[in-house]
Amino acid sequence: MRGPHNIVRLIRTLATLERTGGIGVVLEAFKAPPRLRVVARILGWPFKWLGKAGDPSLPPATRALTALGPAYIKFGQVLSTRPDIVGEEMAEQLKYLQDKLPPFPTLVAKRMVEEELEISVDRVFSEFSDAVAAASIAQVHRARLAETGEEVAVKVLRPGIERAFRRDIDAFYLAASVIEALSPSSRRLRPFDVIQHFEGVVLGELDLRLESAAAAEFAANTEGDEGILVPRPVWQYSARQVMTIGWAEGVSMADNAALDAAGHDRRVLAARVLQLFLSHALRDGYFHADMHQGNLKVAASGDIIAYDFGIMGRLDEYTRRVYAEILIGFIRKDYRRVAEVHFEAGYVPADRDIDEFASALRVVGEPIFGMDASRISMARLLAYLFEVTERFGMQTRTELILLQRTMVVVEGVARSLDPHINIWEVARPVVEAYIRDSVGPQAAIRDLGRTLRVLSRFGPRLPGIVEARLMQQVTEEPPPPVVRRGHPALWFGLGAAVMGAGVWIGTLI
């Protein structure tokens, strides 16, 4: 679908922002550089008549994003959690995008459920309500299973949503090209790779079978965690466009007044949501990557209820260790170690000066830690890091994009509950616990055991491998006096010893 028609799409985007009055608000919120502001107004103002009018009852930015389509709405959902970036007023307006969008008719939803699951809605469900929440991709209906009486949530994709998303993402690729052309320094951030990553994540979100699997895995991982409830999917009534999952009643985390009225301590909730995210990311390497307020509720018990598992993040163990060491280095103000981790991970080219990089990181960290707790911000840290790493040739790590984005969102959720939260103090015990378990002596023994287990799989093949190598050397040159080919039992014994050691250490850990 990529092609010249996306130029029209981009112009129409700017024209819609101009027509709804949102262009000035958005450019100001992001503190766009003068060159970008001029180009945006030049492309938007003459074509204002091409822009979509949107719902005039909504504020300008919200009006524009809802008119432009699902991908823009998803972008607005992220911004709604960041009052420190876009301002309290705009963040409050954008909360509308989380779960208050206009629903499509219930009759259409029922027909989609029947076609997708090949069932009769009236027979399977004794109750099936109108939409109780509607977001950019799908809407949710409260229902009751006729057979068991269990209350469930039935999530149904919006009709034609996949085509609409693909159209929007195509326009984003063009926008990435324009940004790179207008700002060469932005190429280090690899806008194309970022959009490509976003595309993969969103298109995965459009298959509710994957979301059902994610919900089941996340529920299993968090089963022993205190303070969180994860509903489980009902597999027999879930498919590509429909997902049925257990219902959990709670107060929206976006409604501070309702949380206060219910007697919940928002300071405790703010710390809990941040610590749970870090625990899942570091401990499990599998985390909820769309943790805005619209996907979180608070049960009467005070437990956080997580919904909407369409966007989940994964981190391999090595990346988790790198991320944890960078975080703990900043928390402890050990900038030399933070620099070493960047070099060890290959994030910064090896020909750069590590001491200069450590000094630059100190410039990033010290001003932040000297601030009042209410002003300590992960978003600000990431912004400063981008400036520093650009000077040292570091490129954006696409595997960390989702983690960084989610960290920013979670920080926004926590700060909306407790504006004075000290992000670093809350994060410290979780990160330190992970470091103790994953970087200390126990971790070294565990890693050795895993390595030996892998080597043990090749134990039976070691004699043949070594014999083949020795035969190759014999044909090339005379063997050294100390090497004899007549001892295959020796090599077999070595392989058996490695295999045995791997199994033994594996059972210990």
Catalytic residue among 84, 290, 303, 418: 290
Distance CA 481, CA 59 (A): 86
Structure tokens belonging to residue 328: 């703990």
3-state helix, strand, coil in the chain (%, to 5): 65, 10, 25
Q: Rg of the Cα trace of the chain?
A: 27
Distances (CA, A) of 284 to 314, 349, 408: 9, 29, 19
Give the other-Cβ count within 10 Å of 424's Cβ: 17
155 strand-pairing partners: 140, 243
Distance CA 495, CA 157 (A): 55
Single-letter amino acid code for the residue at 206: L
Structure tokens belonging to residue 482: 């100390």
Distance CA 461, CA 393 (A): 44
Q: Which residue has the tokens 């978003």?
A: 379
Among 359, 350, 248, which residue's Cα sits nearest to residue 306?
248
290 as an active site residue: the answer is: yes
Contact 304, 228 (CB under 8 A): yes
Stretch (H or E) spanning 184? none
**Start-end of H helices in 161-312:** 161-182, 191-205, 208-221, 256-261, 266-279
Give the other-Cβ count within 10 Å of 391's Cβ: 11
Distant-in-sequence, close-in-space partners of 298: CB < 8 Å, separation ≥ 6: 250, 251, 253, 259, 262, 264, 269, 304, 305
Single-letter amino acid code for the residue at 297: K
Contact 412, 271 (CB under 8 A): no
Contact 58, 66 (CB under 8 A): yes
Handedness of CA 108, 111, 113, 116 (dihedral sign): negative
Phi, psi of 233 (to 5 degrees): -75, 155
Single-letter amino acid code for the residue at 334: D
User: What is the CA angle 80-82-88, rounded to 5?
Assistant: 80
**Which residues are catalytically annotated?**
290
